[in-house]
Amino acid sequence: MCSFIRFENLHELKRICHWGPIIALSVITICSSMAIIDSVLWYWPLDTPGGSINFILLINWTVLILYNYFNAMFVGPGYVPIGWKPDNPQDAVYLQDCRICQGYKAPRSHHCRKCNRCVMKMDHHCPWINNCCGNLNHGYFTSFLLLAPLGCIHASVILIMTMYTQLYNRISFGWSSVKIDMSLPRRDTQFVVPFGIYGFAASLFALGLAIGTTIAVGMLFFIQMKVILRNKTTIEVWIEEKAKDRIQYYQTGEEFIFPYDLGSKWKNFRQVFTWSGVPDTDGIFWPVREGSHQYSLTIEQLKQKADKRVRSVQYKVIEDYSGACCPISKGYKTFFCTPYTEEPRMQLKKGELILVTRGLPHWMYGNKNLKTKNAHVGQHERGWFPRRCVEKCLYDTATEKPTEEKKIL
């Protein structure tokens, strides 16, 4: 039982006090509880071997789902040590530095604003577990994404069969009408469990949750397995796409080869899923394919970072913005087309200068010109803001030269 939930200290228990885990655990509780109650009504577990197997299997789904869910939450992704530096000081030129963690970002690691740490092999920050998905908990998280739909499918079958059998026992057919008596079944049964209108409504509600969870979580599972079998993360998929865009934009003729795809789906699979549940890698150094080395990806990230600075466009704020997620005062298009991301919104004040790196039809993403702000070291002022609040600068304020038309990603 000591391996059921592993966490460094009791402070980690506060992760449950978040809307994501509260909703997730509520859905698990409702679906599991109603399925257990309805399985007693539909398939009494003490009379037949099939009923016993059905009941035991239902309990096992719940235990396995909670086991992987809590491990994904409390084990965590694994963090790069504060102040980490490569063993060879000369390798530092291939790495990005993190001012907040006061060190360098190890290969495949990224800084998470929510966790405020550099995360090993970061895939994404998941609000449903209120933690990052990374090196140490990627297997637990993906197992949860598989088991949750399977358990919900089993629960859906039980809920549907229970409602069908209970309604069938209460239907009275007449010449001109069909009546349903929701008080008690007409037939005598070996046990009596009340199943009135409230029981039917609760079962129907649980069925809706189970079907919705099966579809939503099942899609996430297929997305995760797609990147796992290629030994990538969702962030690295995006880095690879930007690498192709950079090469095509500048027509350099180079070819970017993702270094961590070992060429075998089974080998890629084994890097995430092990019998012990603990990955074989330490989260810092990774096996790479032939022709690549440890810093192939980080070198590409440095090229993209420099490219982003070159291709960014300077804008001037012409309208204040409070940083609201869905601002009503900025127009109905801005309100309904807000970016569906956990990235922050950035407050704007008239006259400020913004370096924009990417944009949507009604929103833009960029960072404030820190030269005009009294910003502390390591403090980043960046995020999304409405496009209507800014206008493009005709002159670069630093050189007083006309700005060139540049592509915004």
Q: Are 127 and 8 in contact (CB under 8 A)?
A: no
From residue 160, give the alpha-carbon distance in Å to each of 155, 206, 341. Answer: 9, 10, 36
DSSP category for residue 321? B
Residue linked to tokens 């010449």: 175
Tokens of 143: 């197992």
Tokens of 48: 């037949």
51 burial (CB, 10 Å; 0-12 / 13-18 / 19+) is middle
Catalytic residue among 126, 132, 133, 389: 126
Relative to beta strand 353-359, strand 313-317 is: antiparallel
Can 126 be counted among the known catalytic residues? yes
The Cα 302–Cα 313 span in angstroms is: 19
DSSP category for residue 361? S
Q: How many CA atoms lie within 13 A of 330 on its CB side?
A: 25
**DSSP labels, 268-281:** HHHTT--SSSS-SS
Residues with catalytic function? 126
